[in-house]
Structure formats: structure tokens, C-alpha cells
Structure 1
Amino acid sequence: MVVFALIFLMTGVLIGRLVYLMVFRSEYYVEQAKDLHERERDIKAARGQILDRNGVVLAANRTVCTISVIHSQVTDPETVIRVLAKELGMDEETVRKRVEKVSSIERVRTNVDKSVGDAIRAYGLAGVKVDEDYKRYYPYDTLASKVLGFTGGDNQGIIGLEVKYDDYLQGTNGKILTLTDARGVEIENAGESRLDPVDGNNLVISIDYNIQMYAEQVATKVMEQKQADHVSILIMNPQNGEIYAMANVPEFNLNEPFVLNYDAGTDMDAAKKQELLNQMWRNPCINDTYEPGSTFKIITASAALEQGVVTLNDNFFCPGYKIVEDRRIRCHKAGGHGAENFEQGLMNSCNPVFMELGMRLGADNFYHYFRQFGLLSKTNIDLPGEAATIMHSLDNIGQVELATMSFGQSFQITPVELATTVSSIINGGRRVTPHFGVKVQTPDGENVEILQYDQVDGIVSEETSKTMRTLLEKVVSEGSGKNAKIEGYAIGGKTATSQTLPRSAHKYISSFLGFAPAEEPTVLCLVIINDPQGVYYGGTIAAPVCKEVFENILPYLEIEKTESLAQ
């Protein structure tokens, strides 16, 4: 009876276990069985291309191969090791570890040139798989590198537009399923099931290849002439926010993004190299802030006109400085400009005139216009990592801070923030969203989505906008920006020279912001030269760069010559 009781109990336990496995865990073991009898390999989908506004391909794909081994199917491991080491240029010990590793499938190397993959396939080695894959390829190497960005080994975006629009550009991988026996060997004549990949969509952007290339050439030339640290040129349409070019030289090679674009020596660890790579990849136009200097006087003047604290005929006197509390704050002209009206003060870029405007506005109003113009929020440009404005809190703005803020010092903004804010002042009062993405298309060129961006009306009145366009045209035709003047074109603009921190380093940023045609601007250009050697005044070295850019792109954009607004 004891024996029979034990047998009955054990039988009951076994039956219960079988019921649990076959009923409650059935789905799990069905999947386990499939894994044992099916081998799955990915078919990579092609990543969508990035095209400029005219259809020029800026980012494409090259066919490459992934070389793998299936341990259970390798019949001559020594030959496999020898051939793969030879064709892939790898040492035999590394290849041996991967070939002898017991796994369902082991990758030996990815991103192998197709010619090499074809050569390995021709050997007909049992257990060696050669699958075609795609690798990102940039036809113009360094062109717009800090805008386009690049992808990693898995073809996913890492920086720039590649990561911002990754969901559109990425396709859906396909799969190949083959049947295997219990040893993992593929069953002959069992066939295979195939799920075809879906290629990614193309992205059409606002960059114009010709304008971008020319901007980079001009930026490189002035960087070499002035031995500057780096130079940025931003060209955009102030009416809708489309960016035609964003040059940040020195650029880097998108096809070799992990190779530094300068000789940094060999004595560095992985962490140091990664730090240098991160610096190389930074886009100064959106990732870095700076004191804008006198280009910001456009914004101070607009706020003063909007608030009604100044008229064009208001008179001022500049002795070469202004005493603010216990500070003697200089004008860039040591001897002063003497008697001048508001219009002349802007043309002369006179600091005391703008300090007076700051005092008339007061801290509360100044801060109000900072917010109204959008300077306290990001532009929401379609690139990752945009920096925010670095600004005093309202409670900390005293008379000295107010005076220095009025001519663009003691706070910091990004170049794209400055260009966007000035665009809203000269386009009639609409704050546009700066952007690159225009539309998403299928690989066959059919539109999937037309990308839309926010606009905010009422930044300034139409009257103030018109007045500022006229004043800024005079800055170029008669004032401090005359080095940007082009015969036959009405160009508006403003020069700037700001000192970087710490002031004791005596390093400067020279810049110029110009737009054309002055009556109804359709192109804006911001030039920023960081730490030029020798002469560093914006009107002397940055304005001519803008002039050179406009001389070439205005005819290209079919912008007709116009008379000066002052006539």
C-alpha cells in the first residue's frame, strides 16, 4: 500500500506538471521550438537620402556586406579562418575566436566593401554567410557636416539632422527565415521564408548645395587669412525661416566622423579623444552662446521705437564715454562722436546713445521686450542641442547691467537666436521658426509630409519694422557698415565687435549681420569670426565677408538690384 501510494502521488505530480507545461506554458515552448528549428537573419533596409532644395543628394547609401559564420555548419574551420583573415585583413587569432564560438550565428565583420564580400562568397565556404547591408555615405565629405550629422554602425542617427529626422529616414528591416535540424544545421530543400525590407523615406532640406559650398569656401578663406579659431556663416530667408546655408569651419569628414580634423597627437586616452570629438562635432550656430555686441543694437533700437522713448530726430551727445554709477563705460570711438541724433547714433554704432536708450526703457521694459521678441525662449530649430539664452534675472539688472545690455554685452545668446530675432524685426513683425526640413518623400519622390513650423505675429509693428529697415540700410550705405555696400543693391546691416570672457585675455569676436533687399528682405547673412588676429573690428573684417557672399548669391537667387531706401 505504501509503494502504491508513492507511485500514485508521483504520477499525480507528473500529470500536474504536464498540464502546466502543455496548457499554461504552451506559447512559451512553441516559441522555444521555433528558435531551435528556425534561423533568422536580417535584411537591412536602405536609409532614406537627404536632398538639398534642388534635389542634390547630400547623404546617400553604399552597399556593404556583413560576414558571419554559423558554427554548426562549418566543415573546414581552418580554411574558413585562413580565408577570412586574408580577405578581411584581420589577424587569425581574432577570426579563430569568432569561428570557433558556439552560437547560432556569429558576426565576424560588418561594413565590408561589396567587392570583398563578393570575393568571400566566391570561395563557397560551408557555414560562412555573406549578407548585403548598407552604409551611410556622404558624397561631399565635409559639406555641412555639423548640420547633416552622421550615423553609427547600426545606421541610426547620432548627431544633426540624421538624428532629428531618424524616424523618417530609418526603414524597416526585412528577415530571412530558414529551417534547421536539432543540431542547428540548415535542412536542404526546406526552402526559406522572406520578409522584404521597407526602405526609409527621403528628407528634402532647405540647404542649397551651391550656397552652402560657397559659404564654407569664404569662411575657410577668412579663417586662414585672420588665423581665427573658427568662423560661422548663417544664411537664411527671414520671411519663412528656411536656412540656405550654415557653415561652421573647420568642418569634419562625415565619412570618417571619428577621426579628428587636426593633429592632436597620439598621447591621449579614450576619454580625452571622446571629449575632442564632441568639441569637433559641436555646431557653434546653435550649441554655443556668445555676447552679440553691437548687432544687438538692432533689438535695443526696435524696443525703444516700440515703446516710444525715442524718435529719429532725438539729439544726443557722445564725449567718448558715459558714467554709469561708479563705472566709466567707453564708446568704441575714444574721442567720441560729439553731437548726433538717433539715426546717426545707429549709423555710428555709438555706445553712449544706446546706453541712454536703455536708461529710458528701464529694466522692466527692457526685460519685457526680451520676452516679447522671443529672446528668453529657444528658437526650436530642427537640430538637437540648441542652447538657451544666458540672461540676468530681472531682480539683478541694475544701472550698469542695463547699460551694457543695451549694446549687447553682459548676456549671451546663440547666433541662430540673433538671426531669428532680427528676422522678425525686418520682416514686418513675424517671428519665424528657423529650420532645415522642408518635406518628406518616398524613395520614388512622392510627398509623404510637408513639414510645418510655427510663426508668431506682432513682435513689432509694421511701422517699426519699416523704420528699422530704412535705418539699417543707411548703416551700410553711409555708416559703419559701408564695407558691405554693393553697387546697385539696397543692403541693410549692422557691425559688431565684442570681447570674450575673461576680458583680460583680449580675445574678440567680429561679426556682421546683413540682409537684402532692404525694402523686402528675402535673404539674411550672419558672419561671425572668432578670435581673429590683427585687426578685429567687425566693420573692417566681417562686413567684407558678407559683401562677398551677397555679390555671389544675390544674382544666384535672382534678387534684382534696387535703389537705396534713402533715395
Structure 2
Amino acid sequence: MQNKTFNKRNLTSVVVFVMIISLVLTGRLAYLMICQADHYGVLARQIHERERSIKAERGKILDRNGVELANNKPVCTISVIHSQIKDPEKVIAILSQQLELPEDKVRKRVEKVSSIERIKSNVPKELADKIRESDLDGVMIDEDYKRFYPLGSLASKVIGFTGSDNQGIIGLEVEYEEYLHGMNGTILTLTTARGVEIENAAENRTEPVAGNSLTLSIDVNIQKYAEQAAKKVFEAKQANNVKLIAMNPQNGEIYAMVNYPEFDLNDPYSLGALSANGLTQKQKNDALNGMWRNSCISDTYEPGSTFKVVTATAALEEGAVKLNDTFNCPGFKIVEDRKIRCHKTAGHGMQTFVQGIQNSCNPVFMEIGGRVGSKKMYDNFRKLALFKKTGIDVPGEAGSIMHKLEAVKPVELATMSFGQGFQITPLQLLRAESAVINGGTLVTPHFGVSITNADGTVTKKIKYPVEENVIKKETSDTMKMLLESVVSQGSGKNAYIEGYEIGGKTATSEKLPRSSNKYISSFMGFAPADDPKIIAIVLIDEPVGTYYGGTIAAPVVKELFANVLPYLGVAEKPIKTEDDKTKTVEE
């Protein structure tokens, strides 16, 4: 009797336990079937769906007149689906032959058990159509786009290029990626449990959204003029490189930016003759990075005498000099224990401040730099934004390299006054000197002007910071007059164009170490002098033979302006007589 009672109790416990488990499982099943039906329905469909991407067309890049600088051409991506391949040897043979790929590489991907394997992307559409005619089971051909640059190497280091995934790598392509890239679409195809697509089954298709187009301030014609002038002097002087920037000083719109030699945007990984020299991978990478480098914004240098524009502006702003002040140049100036020479070793003798600018006399500028003093000099540098980057809309901009104020002693102040002992980028200098000649407005140099959607509607006008009255208008007017006299009567006469009033400043900067005898010849010019519509700077790196900026750099800007000023609609003026020029300077 005791055993029977014990067994009944055990049986009851088992029954209760089973009933509890059954209730839990039933509740869980009801929850999954009712509450989670939609969720698991989606998962079930996903198991029987294959997703393929439809690439979005990348937005165009256009110059200020609507000329295409970057566009797209149709290409295809070739893929294989293992479960659908019926004749793998035929697939391997045709794909390896048509795509010019090693057979073992194609075989490895064809035989790999996966939902889909990409064989090759960026296949020309004509070739893809030929493969499509072979009617190979398991071979998928999806349309794609490849970036195409109609003008080849034009402004290559500014525009940049995209990678195999059609995303920007350098230049404006990467800076404006969020606007240009677009949104990819998808194709969902129903498959069996084994991954075989079901014939005549409906496809779920999401159409791609094309990227927006970018309109630039670059003018293709001005860029071509600039590149032609840069190439000419590059070859004539056997230089390392030539940099040239042309900009509207009133609003910061860049018309042209040249880093010669440029490279082919449609073949950006080709090093030409260097490729055959047995370079290591690191050497090739370094060579490519050097080839792609936008030196106008990424490299700093000692500006030399073109910086005297800033020194003269600071002196006028601080009331440290008058136009009729006189200076004596014996060919050098003693500063503490240093004898710092003028470029004219015999000296310029007695001269006015105006003549000192026209002659680009170092002792004159050392004297007025000393009058201004280091603190006020640095205050004026800050007004002209020489301690910070310009904020240009391309990546890779470098900043200036300046002494700390407490480290600026008389010798450092003297050398800084004529553009040595510190480093800035060409664009920083051009921005500062734009403020000097445009009435005192500090602009932001830039390329991007507007964003346009696929319908041609402008969706965004790009705005940039502007700071007004960084220097007095009177100072600006005086500097324009002085710099015009440099071209009409002084060291910049090789930039003179009959019928136009050109302002400018020459420079010949000796590279470090000073004993290397290597130079950067440069010239900054603007026109018309009384109401500037364009400002340009050219730098010739390590020219062979004659290296003076007034001799070899000024003619480059002259050639550019001779083409560009009529193109911009700037009318010629009556030619001034020598008496008129002298009278203007004296006033």
C-alpha cells in the first residue's frame, strides 16, 4: 500500500510537470505564430530572396559655364551564382578569356559555394553584352557606372578621382562625396531553398537615386590658359614644378589652380616612366601620393619679396611710413651682429618709400619692419589671417609656420619683413593680398558654387565666411597704386600689358639650406589695378639658369592676363604717358 501511494504521487508529479511544459510550449508557439508572425515572415522571405545592388549614377562636376569636368559612363559587374551554374568549365573558359583574367582565379570563384561571387567590375558595356550573348547559366551581369573625366588631366589635383567603388579618393570628389554619391537601388529575386532563382517570379525592385551635381567656380578656358602658361615655363626652365592660382579677389572664387605637371584622371595610378624602374610598393605609393599632391594648398614655402606687400600694408596701417619718406641702401643693413644684404649688392642709394617698393629693396623693408615692431606686425598678420588656414573646400590644406611672438628678435623681424624666416602656402598669401587690393575684405578661397539635383534644380548655394574691413580702404587704395607702379616703372615691368593697368610684386626666394643655390621664382599680379577682377600668383620651383622672379615669373602672369582679361570682358584703357604715371605716384 505504501509503494502504491508513492507511485501515485510520482505519477501525479510527472503529469503536472508535463502539463506545465505543454502550456509553456503552447504559449510560446502562440506568441511566435501570432505576435511574431510578421517578423518571421520577413526572415522566411529573406531566405528565399537574393539581393543585388543597382548602382546609383554619381553626380556630375561642372565648371562655372556648365562644361563637364566629371561624368559617368556605363559599365557592368560580372558575377556568378554557384547553385545555378550548369556547365562550370564553359563558364570558366569564356570568362577568363573575355575578361583577360587568369583561369585559376576565375575557377576559384566559380567553384566557391556561396550565394554570389563577383568576378570583375568596371567591365565595358560592349564586352559585357558580348558575354551576355553566350547565355551562360549562373552568370549575372549587372549595370554599373564608372567615373569618366572628359578633359583628362585638366585641374586633376583639384578635381580628384574615385576608386573602384565609385567613391571619392582625393580632391573635390571626396570633399563633396555626400552630395555626389547618390543612393544605390536593389533587386530582390525569389529563389528556391537551394538558392536557384525561380523563373517568371516577380522581382522587388528599388530604383537608385542619382547623385547631385556640383558646379564649380573654375572656368575651363582660364584653367587651360593657366596650364599652357605653366607648361611653357616648366619646359623652358626645366623646373621641378610650376604652381599657378587665379582667383577673383572680390569673392574668393577660384578660376584656375594649376600644379604642373598634372596627371591623367582616367588613369590615376599610372606613373609613366617611373613604373618601369623597379620601384618597391612603398616607393610606388610615395610616388603616387606625390603625383596627386595639390602643392598650391599642401606645401608651404618662404614667400620672399611678394610678402613685402603685407609688410608695406602693415606700415601704412600703423602710420609707420609715408610715401615720401627717404631711405638709404648701401647694399646691406646691419641688424645686431648680422649683415643682411640687398639683392642689389651695390645698393640702391637714396630712395623714397615708393621707389623702395618699385626696386624691391630689402634694407627699406627691414627699416619699416623695425618701425612697425614685432607685436604690431603680428597684429596685422592676424588681420590678414596668416596664422590660420584659408578654409578652402578641398582636403589637405597646410597651415603657416611662424615664430612665436616672444621669439621674434630684431634679426627675425628684419628677415620676416622681406619674406624669409617663416613659411606659408601660396593660397594663404594670395588670400591676404586679395584683402589688400579689394578694399579690405578677407574672403574665403573656394571652388564649390552650387549643388544641383537630377532635374537641374539648384538645391543649395554654397556660402563662405567673409570678414570686412580688415584693413582701411585708404590703405588698400594706396597699395593698389604702389603695386601698379611696380609693374609700370619697377621690377615687375615684364608683366606690363599695353592698354591695361597691372599691379604686382616679384619675388626670388632662396630655398633652405641657403647654400643649396636653389630658388623659387614667383610673381603676384592683379588687374585692372584700380578695380581688380582677377589676382594670380605663379611659383616656379628650382628653375635652371636665370631664376629671378621679375625675369621668368612675371612673363607667365603677363601671358595669362593677355588671354584672360579680354575673355573676362575687361576693356583696354588709354595708354598713360610717363608724366601721367609719375604724377599718379606723387599724388
Fold conserved between structures, TM > 0.5: yes
145-154 or 177-186: bigger deviation = 177-186
**Higher Rg of the two aligned structures:** 2
Deviation at residue 175 of structure 1 after TM alignment: 1.0
1:303 aligned onto 2:303: no
Q: State how far apart, in whole Å, the 1-side matches of 2:106 and 2:29 are.
A: 44
Deviation at residue 210 of structure 1 after TM alignment: 1.2
Partner AA of 1:102 in structure 2: V
Residue 199 (structure 1) aligns with: 210
Q: Deviations over 1:100-157 (max 9, x none)?
A: 1111111110000001110111111111111110000001111000000001111111
Residue 257 (structure 1) aligns with: 268
Q: Deviations over 1:267-319 (max 9, x none)?
A: 22322211211111110110111110000000000000000000001110001
1:361 to 362, 372, 377: 372
1:281 aligned onto 2:292: yes
Residue 159 (structure 1) aligns with: 170
Residue 342 (structure 1) aligns with: 353
SS of structure 2 residue aligned to 1:272: helix
Q: State how far apart, in whole Å, the 1-side matches of 2:383 and 2:446 are.
A: 21
Q: State how far apart, in whole Å, the 2-side matches of 1:48 and 1:297 are.
A: 43
| 1:519-530 aligned within 5 A | 519-530=530-541
Residue 331 (structure 1) aligns with: 342
Residue 22 and residue 309 in structure 1: after superposition, are their counterparts in 2 closer, same or farther (change >3 A)?
farther
Residue 406 (structure 1) aligns with: 417
Residue 538 and residue 24 in structure 1: after superposition, are their counterparts in 2 closer, same or farther (change >3 A)?
farther
1:418 aligned onto 2:429: yes
15-24 or 427-436: bigger deviation = 15-24
User: Is there any run of 5+ residues in structure 2 with no aligned partner, and where?
Assistant: 1-10
Q: Is the 8 A contact 1:319 1:337 kept in 2?
A: yes
Partner AA of 1:123 in structure 2: S
Q: State how far apart, in whole Å, the 1-side matches of 2:525 and 2:419 are.
A: 17
1:57 aligned onto 2:68: yes
SS of structure 2 residue aligned to 1:186: coil
SS of structure 1 residue aligned to 2:274: coil
Deviation at residue 265 of structure 1 after TM alignment: 3.8
Partner AA of 2:426 in structure 1: P
1:225 aligned onto 2:233: no
Q: State how far apart, in whole Å, the 1-side matches of 2:29 and 2:406 are.
A: 75
Q: Is the 8 A contact 1:252 1:261 kept in 2?
A: no
Q: Deviations over 1:485-535 (max 9, x none)?
A: 111110000000001112222210000000000000001111100010111
Deviation at residue 452 of structure 1 after TM alignment: 1.3
Deviation at residue 33 of structure 1 after TM alignment: 2.3
1:506 aligned onto 2:506: no
Residue 302 (structure 2) aligns with: 291
SS of structure 2 residue aligned to 1:238: coil
Indicate the percent of aligned positions where both proteins have the same amino acid.
60
Q: State how far apart, in whole Å, the 2-side matches of 1:552 and 1:233 are.
A: 15
Q: State how far apart, in whole Å, the 1-side matches of 2:286 and 2:199 are.
A: 52
Q: State how far apart, in whole Å, the 1-side matches of 2:361 and 2:225 are.
A: 33
1:470 aligned onto 2:475: no
Residue 51 and residue 180 in structure 1: after superposition, are their counterparts in 2 closer, same or farther (change >3 A)?
same
1:486 aligned onto 2:497: yes
Taking structure 1 as the reference length, what is the TM-score of the superposition? 0.97
1:240 to 244, 247, 251: 251
345-354 or 436-445: bigger deviation = 436-445
SS of structure 1 residue aligned to 2:392: coil
Partner AA of 2:258 in structure 1: A
1:546 to 551, 554, 557: 557
Deviation at residue 7 of structure 1 after TM alignment: 5.1
SS of structure 2 residue aligned to 1:332: coil
Q: State how far apart, in whole Å, the 2-side matches of 1:218 and 1:177 are.
A: 55
Partner AA of 2:47 in structure 1: L
SS of structure 2 residue aligned to 1:432: coil
SS of structure 1 residue aligned to 2:356: helix
1:315 aligned onto 2:326: yes
Q: State how far apart, in whole Å, the 2-side matches of 1:300 and 1:24 are.
A: 78
Residue 116 (structure 1) aligns with: 127
524-533 or 11-20: bigger deviation = 11-20
Q: Deviations over 1:523-562 (max 9, x none)?
A: 1111100010111110010011111111111111111112
Deviation at residue 480 of structure 1 after TM alignment: 0.4
Taking structure 2 as the reference length, what is the TM-score of the superposition? 0.93
Q: Is the 8 A contact 1:239 1:432 kept in 2?
A: yes
Q: State how far apart, in whole Å, the 1-side matches of 2:21 and 2:108 are.
A: 47
Q: State how far apart, in whole Å, the 2-side matches of 1:440 and 1:506 are.
A: 47
Q: State how far apart, in whole Å, the 1-side matches of 2:280 and 2:17 are.
A: 68
Deviation at residue 32 of structure 1 after TM alignment: 3.5
Q: Deviations over 1:171-212 (max 9, x none)?
A: 111111111111111112221011111111111111111111
Residue 108 (structure 2) aligns with: 97
